[in-house]
Amino acid sequence: MELHPDRLFPSDPTIRNIARSLYASVANLPIVSPHGHTDPAWFASNAPFGNATDLLLKPDHYVFRMLYSQGVPLESLGIGNGDADPRNAWRILAEHYHLFRGTPSRMWLDWVFSEVFGMTAQLDAGTSDLYFDTITDRLASDDFRPRALFDRYQIEVIATTESPLDALDHHASIRAENQKAGGWQGRVITAYRPDTVVDPEFEGFADNLGRLSDLTGEDCFNWQGYLAAHRQRRAFFKDMGATSTDHGHPTPRTADLGADSAKALFGKICSGEFTAQEAEIFRAQMLTEMAAMSVDDGLVMQIHPGSFRNHNDPLFRRFGRDKGADIPMRTEFVANLKPLLDRFGNDRDLSIILFTLDESVYSRELAPLAGHYPCLKLGPAWWFHDSPEGMRRFRHMTTETAGFYNMVGFNDDTRAFLSIPARHDVARRIDCGFLAQLVAEHRIADWEAAELAHDLTYRLAKKAYRL
């Protein structure tokens, strides 16, 4: 359970020594977290987090998907079942903890157990209650409230993700607190994630347009009104600190239909009578519309495509979204992005950050695109690939063609607040190991590696996200 100081560094002594020294120079840099899904209510209210199960097990679909895959019913963990005893649920995790060997969840959890809660024994059936009690007790103390951990974690800035329908009340509270004399100074910003009002196949899409109309005073069933509502909400999000938008489409398809066709398509979408193909083209058109607005308002655009959401239909119908059943799909960028790029690709003021779950596009499509188009940058290894091996593959497959400076540093992309430093630490260690290999093979100089380690850890994220 004690974390080894050399963990994740390559074993070769030459490389390890270089990696150690690079890591020492970046290990204590502040955390810049420009993309994630923490709950702003935590920082607005600063209420204690609750028990170990409610904080660390029930919301973490990385963790419970693995238990589920091995036959553990979700109900026994308290998911979709308010009656489950959290101590028993924790014991199930403890008894199955060997399932996580070799996974990033194991590393993140072990870091939280050791560094945050000071546990020294390994989690297993015999230590389950000790873990549950210790963690739950500590969470009740002031030192483990959200703002205290935020400060202890040295987070310079964190972005959350909200729908245009969100009133951003928590963000408003935090900003009020920031401005109070002696108030908490944590910087928590939002990001504009319009899927709920851009994707015609999203649950409740028509209702959502209605709510957007109410919120903005625009007629969102009229194409011009709908676009104006987006502009208005983007401006409001920007006022509340947002520097970016985020788009979770099934594919990165873009379109540039022209005003009349776009308006006609929107009419069909609003009528509720549209095909899957029309929904896809509408999402495609909206990526281009969002790019046009970004050219105007300067918000950085993030595209996160390629997840088949809620693949397990019976599970979705019973338990809802985000239950560990989102499965990556093959993703094509070269033809899909062309309409948007033909219109805005050479615009130096536009910044689009691309993510993928399909590693076969790293070297084939993404690195060549980012190594040419002024508006494109590559986001870090994402989701399932946010892992030591995933990050290594990302660096090995993109660096030679895209270069380091068409990257944006690390995103933790998590709702698991307690593990944020663990995640950034993994990225720092893997990057330092990668740079150390380049130095050991005499491909870059040691002083260049030191500069790059700092860039990858801190400077690139701030620059790319305009923070």
Interface with a second copy includes 466 (CB under 8 A)? no
Question: How many Cβ atoms sit within 10 Å of the Cβ of residue 201?
Answer: 14
Q: Is 277 in the site for a second copy (CB under 8 A)?
A: no
Return d(Cα 76, Cα 87) in angstroms, integer. Answer: 11
Identify the sign of the CA torsion 16, 21, 23, 24. Answer: positive
Stretch that binds a second copy, among 148-156, 178-186, 193-201, 344-352 (CB under 8 A): 344-352
Q: How far is the CB of 424 from a second copy (least distance, A)?
A: 17
Alpha helices per DSSP H over 5-119:
13-26, 40-45, 52, 61-69, 86-95, 104-111
By CB under 8 A, the residues from 381 to 420 that bind a second copy are 384-385, 387-390, 393, 396-397, 399-406
- The CA distance from 436 to 429, in Å, is 10
- Contact segment (CB under 8 A) with a second copy among 52-60, 137-145, 264-272, 342-350 equals 342-350
454 belongs to the binding site for a second copy (CB under 8 A): no
Residue 114's contacts (CB-CB under 8 Å, 6 or more residues apart) are: 1, 2, 3, 120
Interface with a second copy in residues 158-197 (CB under 8 A): none
Nearest CA-CA partner of 30 in 434, 438, 437, 410 = 410
Rounded to a whole number of angstroms, the minimum distance from the CB of residue 233 to a second copy is 29
Nearer to a second copy, 406 or 414 (CB): 406
DSSP string, 230-274: HHHHHHHHHHTT--EEEE--SS-------HHHHHHHHHHHHHT--
Q: Which of the residues 88 through 117 are near a second copy (CB under 8 A)?
A: 98-104, 107
# chain residues binding a second copy, by CB under 8 A? 90
Per-residue binding string, a second copy, 12-31, x by CB under 8 A, is x-xx----------------
The CA angle 317-323-329, to the nearest 5 degrees, is 95
Token pair 């308010």 in the structure block, residue: 82
For residue 298, state whether it binds a second copy (rule: CB under 8 A). no
Tell how strand 376-378 and strand 352-354 pair up: parallel
Q: Which one, 188 or 426, has the nearer CB to a second copy? A: 426
β-strand partners of 328: 307
Tokens for 325, please give them: 């059943």
Q: DSSP string covering 42-58, please?
A: HHHH------HIIIIIT
Contact residue for a second copy among 246, 359, 412, 413 (CB under 8 A): 359
Identity of the residue, 86 or 390, whose beta carbon is nearer to a second copy in the bound complex: 390
Of the residues 45, 172, 312, 446, which one makes contact with a second copy according to CB under 8 A: 312
- Considering the complex, state which of residue 146 and residue 388 has its C-beta at the smaller distance from a second copy: 388
Residue 121 binds to a second copy (criterion: CB under 8 A): no
446 binds a second copy (CB under 8 A): no
Please name the residues in contact with 272: beta carbons below 8 A apart, sequence gap of 6 or more: 206
234 or 392: CB nearest a second copy: 392
Stretch that binds a second copy, among 128-136, 208-216, 274-282, 380-388 (CB under 8 A): 380-388
For residue 76, the minimal CB distance to a second copy (Å) is 13
| Closer by beta carbon to a second copy, 96 or else 187 | 96
A 10 A CB-CB count for 290 gives: 23
Decide whether 71 or 272 has the Cβ nearer to a second copy: 71
Nearer to a second copy, 102 or 217 (CB): 102
Specify the 3-state DSSP secondary structure of 300: strand
450 forms part of the interface with a second copy (CB under 8 A): no
Q: Is 65 in the site for a second copy (CB under 8 A)?
A: yes
* Closest CA relative to residue 230, chosen from 287, 175, 188, 304: 287
Identity of the residue, 239 or 400, whose beta carbon is nearer to a second copy in the bound complex: 400
Q: Compare residues 387 and 419 and give the one whose CB is closer to a second copy.
A: 387
